[in-house]
Structure formats: C-alpha cells, structure tokens
Amino acid sequence: MASAEKSADGTPGTAGRTRLIRGPGMLLVWLYGVMVVGAVSRSAVQISTEFEHAPLAYSLSALAGLVYGFITYSLVRGGERARRAALVCCAAELLGVLVVGTWTLVEPSAFPDATVWSDYGMGYLFIPVLLPLTAMYWLRKGTRRA
C-alpha cells in the first residue's frame, strides 16, 4: 500500500504546498472569516427580505462575501497556485472597494442602502480597504522569502 504524501508539517496530501497562514497570516484568515460571515449574513437577510429596495447594493454585498470566502479558502489551502489566486482576488477586492467607495460618494442615490464596500468600508471600520492591502503585502512578502 502506497503511503500518502505528507508536507513538512506532516499534513497528508499537502506536499509541496507553502503554508500561507503561519504567523500573521493566521490573523488574515481570521479577519477574512469574520468578513465572510458579516457580508454573507447581511446580504442574505437583505436579499431575502427587501431586495427590491436596493438590489445593486445587496448584490454587491453578496459578491463581497463570495470574494472574502474565496480568499479565506485560498489562504487556508496554501501553495503557489492558491497564493496567486488570493493575490488576484485581493486586487479585485481592493478595486471593488475603491470603485464602489468612490461611486457611493459621487452618486449616493445609486445606493439607497449601504454595501460592505460603501464609503470605502466605513460601516466596517474601513477593514474592507485595509484588509486587501495587508493581505497583498503578506502574500508578496512570502514570495520574496521563498
């Protein structure tokens, strides 16, 4: 019987994957996890109870939750492909925050209700704009170390 591949930390099936959640990376996973719960639960309630009031805002919050979920998964999964995917998603997240944040300031009537990314994430203590910057720094720093 063949033995299962094991990584340096002894985890089966993860040979060759660089851990992305060591040290401060674990804090990123935790923060992204909190953002997943916040964005998905908020949008689920809003979409199911009052979607017609602000469909764009609620749909963008749901999209933000999906992006946060994918980034969380990529950070936990580890490996070079996951790191690159997380970097791309963090850049897309930052772009979304900047576009939606600017849009809500320039044309507030387009958003009768707030999204996760409204006003650059002010309703979430600006975490939506700071988190992707921090994550991209962490992910790039890991590349230079490797």
Ranges of each domain in the chain = 24-145
User: Rounded CA gap, 67 and 62, in Å?
Assistant: 9
Q: Is 22 a residue whose pLDDT tops 80? A: no
Q: How far apart are CA 9 and CA 32, in angstroms?
A: 24
Residues 34 and 65 sit within 8 Å (Cβ to Cβ): no
pLDDT at 3 over 80: no
The pair of structure tokens assigned to 58 is 């609620």
Model pTM?
0.80
Cβ 128 vs Cβ 67: under 8 Å: no
| Max CA distance (Å), the chain | 65
Neighbours of 100 (CB within 10 A): 26
Q: Residue 130: is its pLDDT beyond 50? A: yes
Distance from C-alpha of 46 to C-alpha of 4, rounded to nearest angstrom: 45
For the segment 10-18, the average pLDDT, to the nearest whole number, is 52
Three-class secondary structure of residue 11 per DSSP: coil
